[in-house]
Amino acid sequence: MQHLSEAQAAAPRISPLINSGVRREFLGVPIDCLTLTETIEAADRAIRRRQPLQHACINVAKFVAMRSNAELDVDVRSSDVISIDGMGIVWAARLMGISIPERVTGVDVMEGVILLCATKGYRPYFLGARRDVLQQAIINIQTRFPGLDIAGSRDGYFAPEEETGVVTAIKSSEADCLFIGMPTPRKERFLARHRDDLGIPFIMGVGGGLDVLAGRVRRAPWLVQEMGFEWLFRTVQEPLRLGPRYLRTNVAFAGLMVKALMPRSATRSSTSRRLKARQR
The answer on pLDDT for 129 being more than 80 is: yes
CA-to-CA distance for 10 and 152, rounded, in angstroms? 31
Q: What average pLDDT score do residues 123-133 get?
A: 97
Mean pLDDT computed over every residue of the chain: 87
CA-to-CA distance for 211 and 129, rounded, in angstroms? 7
* Per-residue model confidence (pLDDT) at position 240: 79
The answer on pLDDT for 4 being more than 60 is: no
- C-alpha angle 169-174-176 in degrees, rounded to nearest 5: 120
Region of poorest pLDDT, from 45-49, 135-139, 192-196, 209-213: 192-196
Q: What average pLDDT score do residues 68-74 get?
A: 92
Identify whether the C-beta of residue 57 lies closer than 8 Å to the C-beta of residue 83: yes
The answer on pLDDT for 273 being more than 60 is: no
Residues in the chain: 280
CB-based contacts of 190, cutoff 8 Å, min separation 6: 163, 180, 182
Q: Greater confidence, 143 or 1?
A: 143
> Is 43 in a helix, a strand, or coil?
helix
How far, CA to CA in Å, does 108 sit from each of 104, 212, 219, 272? 7, 11, 11, 43
How far, CA to CA in Å, does 88 sit from each of 69, 103, 225, 253? 20, 10, 11, 9
pLDDT tens-digit profile of 163-190?
Answer: 999 999 999 999 999 999 998 889 989 9
* Per-residue model confidence (pLDDT) at position 245: 82
Domain boundaries, the chain: 23-275
* Per-residue model confidence (pLDDT) at position 238: 82
- C-alpha angle 124-105-181 in degrees, rounded to nearest 5: 45
* Per-residue model confidence (pLDDT) at position 232: 81
* Per-residue model confidence (pLDDT) at position 236: 85
Spatial CA neighbour of 54 closest among 13, 101, 5, 4? 13
Burial of residue 25, with CB atoms counted within 10 A of its CB: 0-12 exposed, 13-18 middle, 19 or more buried: exposed
